[in-house]
Amino acid sequence: MVRNAKTLLLVSMLGIFLGAGAQAAGNKQKLKSAVGVQESAEKAAIASQKKIDSVADKTEQMLTEYKLTMRQYDALKGYNDQVARIVKSQNEELATIDQQLLEIDTTNQGVIPLMERMVDTLEKFVALDVPFLPDERSKRIAELKSLLDRADVTVSEKYRRIMEAYQVEMEYGRTIEAYTADITTNGNKRSVDFLRIGRMTLMYQTLDKKETAVWDNKKRTWQVLGEEYRKPTMLGLRIARKQAPPDLIKLPVQAPEKAQ
């Protein structure tokens, strides 16, 4: 009976151990499952965080691009506004230029005939004046006439050249000059020395000093002078050429005509 009791005890103990082992195995399986769930959750969380980070990065990138686009837009808008102001200013300037051109065209209608009359007046003046430097002065007038017919020369330049010619003629009245040129008298062409004193006196002396004459503008002819004017004329020529200092000399002077 004691033996049977021991057997029962062993069986009971074995059952306990087997039950405990089975329970431990079950707990282990549950723990393993729990760990697996935890790991899956962590992986899901990591994946979610990565997605969040990716979305955040893209959002930040889009925000940066948006800010850059807005700055570019502001700069472009400012540039366009400036261009618009420039275009407006240019249009206003073009309108002003058009108006000025219209006024110039109107002015030219009066200025061009005036300049033509000025050249004609100058030509008549030279023709009636003391006949010094005839070729040079006639050439200047011919150039002015040709200039007036040129379309490639501005009105202002034409006017400037005419006034320049008038100024040259005015200067002749305040200067003395000596030059050598040909002259034809009584059908005889000779080289002589001319002496001009303003517009009051125009004389010539032959190169051999034997003949001296003065221009009579009233009679429009040369008048041969006496021997007493030979040396004064020689001195006058030297003074005009700056070969002698200024000095008083006796020369014939034409009396100015009274105004009619």
pLDDT digits (tens, 9 = 90+) for 151-163: 999 888 999 999 9
Residue 51 has pLDDT above 90, yes or no: no
Evaluate if residue 211 carries a pLDDT over 50: yes
Q: Is the pLDDT of residue 69 over 50?
A: yes
Statement: residue 12 has pLDDT above 80: no
- Give residue 47's pLDDT: 80
Helix (H, G, I), strand (E, B) or coil at 190: strand
pLDDT at 185 over 70: yes
Mean pLDDT across the stretch 192-197?
97
What whole-number distance in Å separates Cα of residue 42 and Cα of residue 48? 10
Quick one: average pLDDT of 207-216? 96
Asked whether residue 2 carries a pLDDT value surpassing 50, the answer given is no
Instruction: Provide the mean pLDDT of the chain.
Output: 83
Q: What is the predicted pLDDT for the residue at 239?
A: 96
Cα dist. 92→84, 104, 166 in Å? 12, 18, 40
Question: pLDDT, tens digit, for every residue of 77-134?
Answer: 776 777 678 767 867 876 786 676 666 666 667 788 999 999 999 999 999 999 999 9
Do 153 and 147 contact (CB within 8 A), yes or no?
yes
- 63 or 104: which carries more pLDDT confidence? 63
Q: Which strands sit side by side in the sheet containing 176-185, from one edge to the other?
A: 176-185, 188-197, 201-206, 212-216, 221-224
Q: Tell me the whole-structure pTM to 2 decimals.
A: 0.58
Contact 140, 129 (CB under 8 A): no
Region of residue 220 (phi > 0: left; psi between -120 and 50: alpha; otherwise: beta)? left
Q: How far apart are CA 124 and CA 247, in angstroms?
A: 35
189 has a pLDDT exceeding 80: yes
Confidence of residue 16 (pLDDT cuts 50, 70, 90): low
Q: Which residues pair with 215 in a beta bridge?
A: 222
**Domain boundaries defined on the chain:** 109-172, 174-253
Of 259, 238, 257, 258, the C-alpha closest to 247 is 238
- Which percentage of the chain shows pLDDT scores above 90? 49
Per-residue pLDDT reduced to its tens digit, 224-255? 999 999 999 999 999 999 999 999 999 988 76
